[in-house]
Structure 1
Amino acid sequence: MLHKYIRRLKYYILRTLRMQNSDHRIALGFAVGFFPCWYPTFGIDLLLAPLLARMVRANIPSAFLAASAGSVLWPILFYLNYRIGVFVHLFTTFPKTFEIEDALSVPVPETDYRIETNHFGRLGDMGVNFLVGALINSILSTLILYILLRILLSFYRRPLLHKIKKSVRRGKSKS
């Protein structure tokens, strides 16, 4: 069963590498296809990726391939969004300056055992941190993926094509 899926994946990679599109369009399609995976789109990213690729005139199959990969990686992507958002929040907020005399002269407050609902306000901070992280991660990943794939395709497209062809031929001869 796993062999079947690996063979199918090789087939789609082989089809993508054989396309007559330029390296620019394939790399742009993959980068733009991965863009909506950083946001909580609840499965619509597989529909958004080809639409975004069509808007920027990129390769639609590579956009769909990237969106498929992103739909598997979403827990990791969402965790990275939150962590980057918290980092940016901590980096951009500055603590208040205080004097030690002020801290010593403040009386100790009485303990009051009322239930506070302030913890619901922190949920809004989590959402803001998540969206800030998603915005930063989606822009950076789009740029990095485009540059890396453009370089990889321009230098290694033909060797990858021959290597995958050989492995597919070996798979056919074994069966």
Structure 2
Amino acid sequence: MKLRRRIKYYLIRLFRLKASPHQVAMGLSIGFIPNWLPTFGLGPMFSIALAKIARVNLISAFIGGVIGAPFWPIFFLLNYRVGGLFINKPLKVNELEDIEYIEVVNDTVGSLQSGSLQFIAGASINIVISSFLIYLLVFLLFNKYRVSILNKLKL
């Protein structure tokens, strides 16, 4: 019950923003970017920093950063899978349990060997695709359905 109420609160807050649909959509899509990278809980702060640099809506960027945080393990696996499609390396990861997080972080930070190049390539591709899709979806929602969605959420 508490989680549902919190989600509703943030959605109402998002749809009440006075910013233009472009500002809100850019904020959400830019705020979602750190979710594809290993930020170790600092994703929402990076989202706000990116939003300040890009001069987009900070609240929507923060919400974008918080939305994807619980899905980090899935995004982690997707980065490897997508990177494996573009880099001709055999995929060593088949399931989430196969991932050694400490080893991957050391490889990613330390060098471009092993699976880190695959991870970075996948993350880059996923960032571009997800940013475009999130922007498009949020922009259309805000442009067309902002008032009706807000009225439904108030009930």
Q: State whether TM-score is above 0.5.
A: yes
Secondary structure of the corresponding residue to residue 56 of structure 2: coil
Match in the other structure for 2:108: none
Q: Percent identity?
A: 39
1:84 pairs with 82, 85, 94, which one? 82
User: For structure 1, which runs of at least 5 residues remain unmatched after alignment?
Assistant: 92-122, 167-175
Matches within 5 A, 1:152-167: 152-166=141-155
Match in the other structure for 1:170: none
Q: Which has the larger radius of gyration?
A: 1
Match in the other structure for 2:6: 8
Match in the other structure for 2:92: none
2:27 pairs with 26, 29, 32, which one? 29
Q: TM-score, normalised by structure 2?
A: 0.81
CA offsets, 1:91-138, max 9 Å, x none? 9xxxxxxxxxxxxxxxxxxxxxxxxxxxxxxx9231110110001111
How far apart are 1:155 and its partner, in Å? 0.9
Match in the other structure for 2:100: none
How far apart are 1:152 and its partner, in Å? 1.2
Rounded Cα–Cα distance in structure 2 between residues aligned with 1:150 and 1:164: 18
Match in the other structure for 1:48: 46
1:135 aligns with 2:133: no
How far apart are 1:7 and its partner, in Å? 1.4
Match in the other structure for 2:139: 150
- Aligned residue-pair number: 133
Rounded Cα–Cα distance in structure 2 between residues aligned with 1:45 and 1:14: 22
CA offsets, 1:21-57, max 9 Å, x none? 1111111110000011111121221211011111112
How far apart are 1:147 and its partner, in Å? 1.1
What RMSD over aligned residues (CA atoms) do the two structures have, in Å? 1.6
Match in the other structure for 2:60: 62
Rounded Cα–Cα distance in structure 1 between residues aligned with 2:28 and 2:76: 19
Q: TM-score, normalised by structure 1?
A: 0.72
How far apart are 1:90 and its partner, in Å? 3.1
